[in-house]
């Protein structure tokens, strides 16, 4: 079955530590996205990529980094510069670099700072 796999489902980070969230898709989608969701709020865009080896900052990119070395993979690193990283992180993909073609979302990673 085609879809997006995010791992791990739950992640705990110590103060000052970098952590990496995995996102893999087998839908052959060109575009991939990372969103952050805080309680009672909508999704905010962190980074997006429309093609391999290229990515762009979203609305809240500070303290995050990404890479897009393969079409199938778009990992997100939450760095120690992100002061409030506790949130629910969602990865998504679409067939083209535009929302008109429908998005597929992963099941999310819940990150908690301990």
Partner 1 sequence: KQEVTQIPAALSVPEGENLVLNCSFTDSAIYNLQWFRQDPGKGLTSLLLIQSSQREQTSGRLNASLDKSSGRSTLYIAASQPGDSATYLCAVSGSGGSGSARQLTFGSGTQLTVLP
Enumerate binding residues for partner 1 (CB under 8 A): 4, 6, 31, 33, 40-45, 48, 50, 56, 58, 88, 90, 92, 96-100, 102-108, 110
Cα 96–Cα 27–Cα 63 angle in degrees, nearest 5: 70
By beta-carbon proximity to partner 1, the closer residue of 17 and 56 is: 56
E strands along the chain, which residues?
4-7, 10-13, 19-25, 31-37, 43-51, 54-57, 64-66, 76-78, 87-94, 103-105, 109-113
By beta-carbon proximity to partner 1, the closer residue of 2 and 42 is: 42
Tokens coding 26 = 């087998």
By beta-carbon proximity to partner 1, the closer residue of 13 and 50 is: 50
Q: How far is the CB of 80 from partner 1 (least distance, A)?
A: 26
Q: How far is the CB of 38 from partner 1 (least distance, A)?
A: 10
CA dihedral 92, 62, 11, 86 (to 10 degrees): -110
What is d(CA 111, CA 10) in angstroms, rounded to the nearest whole number?
A: 6
By beta-carbon proximity to partner 1, the closer residue of 33 and 64 is: 33
């Amino acid at each position: 079955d085609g879809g997006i796999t995010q791992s791990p489902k739950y992640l705990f980070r110590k103060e000052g530590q970098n952590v990496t969230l995995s996102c893999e898709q087998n839908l052959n989608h060109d575009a991939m996205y990372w969103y952050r969701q805080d309680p009672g709020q909508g999704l905010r865009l962190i980074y997006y990529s429309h093609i391999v080896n290229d990515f762009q900052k979203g609305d809240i990119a500070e303290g995050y980094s990404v890479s897009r070395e393969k079409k199938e993979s778009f990992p997100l690193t939450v760095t120690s510069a992100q002061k409030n990283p506790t949130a629910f992180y969602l990865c998504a993909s679409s067939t083209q670099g535009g929302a008109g073609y429908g998005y597929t979302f992963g099941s999310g990673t819940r990150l908690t700072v301990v």
